[in-house]
A and B are shown apart, each in its own frame.
Chain A
């Protein structure tokens, strides 16, 4: 039920977004998240976008992981 995979918003029409999830295209609702734009990466659950993915925060986490690997 709970997909951990990010989806890319490739189209918008009214309260619907067309998303690409690992190559599969699907129409989902934008009713639960404001300000969705084309090009956003989002989390989809049960046919609804439930959150946008924050690129800066993702980069921070990756940086943290890499630093852990490098510490003497």
Chain B
């Protein structure tokens, strides 16, 4: 298929690897990706195994479900449990996430109306098809998802649908990258920036990383040659002593991004301080619907009670995995007690989670 085959051409792999080798950088370099799809493609194509050993590929907070806090999921579960006449629509990844009071899959089995959708538009369709029911879409995602939710709310307004609302759990990527640099818990020499988040935000969103933190950034695509080329470009910057924003995924990403989608985001959402799993509060890192759209804001329409998470302390170290401080294998639960069929943390549940990627492709 076009745009896939040529970026998986194994005949080209050796050439890039030779170039990487010839840079002579072999020790103590950490590159971090901030996108669950990168995490999975790096694991799936065995990229870690073919680059020089001293170059670490860390996974950062790139999985939206994983950075959603337990309190947020608890609140939705609690609400679903008490309001069985309300439809809770969400992406499939959210269903199995174990929160302190159970999971959405669990309350569905108890009789709550939890439905998996592929798009926020599907949730709107449910609302249109069942006008006697309230439908709440749990909007989890980064800058890639927020405009799709915004456009869906605009469509609901246009069609006069009044039984559809959204609980916005959206988070913004650059503030988390800033937090990683500020905390300095793990050394990051370069960022493999997310392809589709940046398709929306534009590559200029990372200007502060190159400027204030002197950290090279390369926006990468998702095929194996994309990943290898991006790694080469980052290492070349490091070798040359440059810290610039480069775009390997230029077939999709521009400096300014998708201005139409950004306009919709700005129109619908306000930026708020938000807690992230593993990070705590990050300033200006979340999106909530603006006041004028409160009719579509489930948190204003309904009483969705925030509860203190019950501390289970099962030893789950997702919070450290999300920050790139440990690899999944360093968690004692990984692949023993915590497995895809019986996950103890979100990083094993989500198809974008780091533990799920390591379990599927890199278990030794």
Residues of A within 8 A of B (CB): 1-6, 8, 22, 28-29, 31-34, 41, 43, 45-48, 50-51, 53-55, 57-58, 60-62, 64-66, 68-71
Contact = CB atoms under 8 A, between A and B. Distances in A.
Given A47-B122, A50-B261, A53-B3, A2 B144 contact: yes
Interface of B: 1-4, 6-7, 11-12, 14-16, 18-19, 35-37, 41, 64, 91, 93, 118-122, 141, 144-145, 147-148, 151, 154-155, 195-196, 199-200, 221-223, 225-226, 229, 232, 248-253, 258, 260-261, 264, 351-352
Nearest to B35: A2
A2 B4 CA distance: 16
A1 B145 contact: yes
A5 B4 contact: yes
B145 A45 contact: yes
A70 B260 contact: no
B229 A64 contact: yes
Contact of A45 (B12, B144, B352): B144
B97 to A, nearest CB: 13
Contacts of A5: 4
B251 A57 contact: yes
A4 B351 contact: no
B148 A48 contact: yes
Given A4-B41, A6-B4, A50-B144, A69 B196 contact: no
Given A29-B121, A32-B151, A34-B260, A51 B141 contact: no
Contacts of A55: 251
A1 B258 contact: no
A38 to B, nearest CB: 15
The B contact surface, by secondary structure, is helix
Select the residue from A5, A32, A64 with max chain B CB neighbours within 10 A.
A32
Nearest to A22: B1
Contacts of A47: 118-122, 148
B19 A53 contact: no
Contacts of B11: 69
Contacts of A8: 2
A45 B147 CA distance: 10
Given A53-B3, A69-B16, A48 B119 contact: yes
A62 B229 CA distance: 10
Q: Which of A22, A28, A58 has its CB near the most chain B CB atoms (within 10 A)?
A: A58
Contacts of A70: 15
Contacts of B155: 31
A50 B258 contact: yes
Contacts of A64: 229
Contacts of B118: 46-47
Contact of A1 (B1, B91, B200): B91
Given A61-B251, A68-B15, A4 B222 contact: yes
9 contacts: A32-B147, A43-B196, A43-B252, A45-B145, A50-B147, A51-B199, A51-B258, A53-B252, A61-B249
B261 A66 contact: no
B15 A2 contact: no
Given A48-B148, A53-B3, A60 B120 contact: no
Contact of A46 (B1, B141, B264, B351): B141
